[in-house]
Amino acid sequence: MSKKPLILVTNDDGITAPGIRTLIEVMTTIGDVVVVAPDSPQSGQGHAITLDSTLYAEQVEVASGTHLEYTCSGTPADCVKLAVREILDRRPDICVSGINHGSNSSINVIYSGTMSAAIEAGIEGIPAIGFSLLNYKWSANFDASKNYVKTITENALKHGLQEGTVLNVNIPDIPKKDIKGIKICRQARANWVEKFDKRKSPQGRDYYWLTGKFVNLDGGEDTDEWALENNYVSLVPVQFDLTAHHAIQELNTWDLNDTEINSA
């Protein structure tokens, strides 16, 4: 049995995306790699899973190499579930997802298929990291990302991650020489101000395109948005326990067990 770490690689842009090809290149310098990725783009799928349709997975050869690759007809979360339950012969030592074409900083983590794959691995107790480059173009240059991806992955393997935590890493789209380093951050308070572009089809039916702009509402200098705007790689530890623990004490003061409710 190989003494190298077993690394599960996935993404949400599809198995042929340049971002995942870069991630595979880096991971093969660290350990034994198995790729299980969607057969088509799955951006914005969040943590969706396939329940009401057939799920397929098959071994493919996208590029020559010593690692194994599989495509999956489902979502990024499906890819991780299938990898752990059906494809791999042992649990991976780490799961890395990406490198995503486009930002997954701040509130984008909620919608991200890239991060949902990492979170699914985290739920399984597997250390996991989602990587993203702030460039949505298919032709994006990922060269400046390589050293940071390798450094963060090697540290996660060496030190481990706390239970219930995965890492969300975003990399500015600037030349390598201009990146100042890695900054550990919190998620910025931001959101999308959205609207729908309403149009009419040739058949006379109304249809809609979602549009909008990203608004950063957070002036803190300890956030991922600040780090990225100031040429740092942002690293945010993300928890998938969604309990708002700080609100429990206040909710316990509500009159939830009064006689009127009980007698209704």
Q: What is the pLDDT along the chain (264 residues), one digit of tens a residue?
A: 568 999 999 999 999 999 999 999 999 999 999 999 998 877 777 788 878 889 999 999 887 777 999 999 999 999 999 999 999 999 999 999 999 999 999 988 998 999 999 999 999 999 999 999 999 999 999 999 999 999 999 999 999 999 999 999 999 999 999 999 999 999 998 888 888 899 999 999 999 988 888 778 888 899 999 999 999 999 999 999 999 999 999 999 999 987 565 555
Residue 213: inside a domain: no
* pLDDT tens profile 83-139: 999 999 999 999 999 999 999 999 889 989 999 999 999 999 999 999 999 999 999
Residue 237: inside a domain: yes
| pTM score of the predicted model | 0.90
Residue 214: inside a domain: no
Residue 211: inside a domain: no
To 5 degrees, how large is the angle CA 28–CA 68–CA 89? 105
Dihedral sign (CA 140, 16, 22, 120):
positive
Which CATH number characterizes residue 95's domain?
Answer: 3.40.1210.10
Helix 18-27 and helix 146-159: axis angle, to 10°? Answer: 50
Q: Could you list the residue range(s) of the whole structural domain that residue 72 is in?
A: 6-188+219-263
Residue 200: inside a domain: no
Residue 201: inside a domain: no
Residue 93: inside a domain: yes
Residue 206: inside a domain: no
Q: Count of domains in the chain?
A: 1
φ, ψ for residue 98, nearest 5 deg: 125, -150
Question: How far is the C-alpha of 118 from the C-alpha of 64, rounded, in Å?
Answer: 26
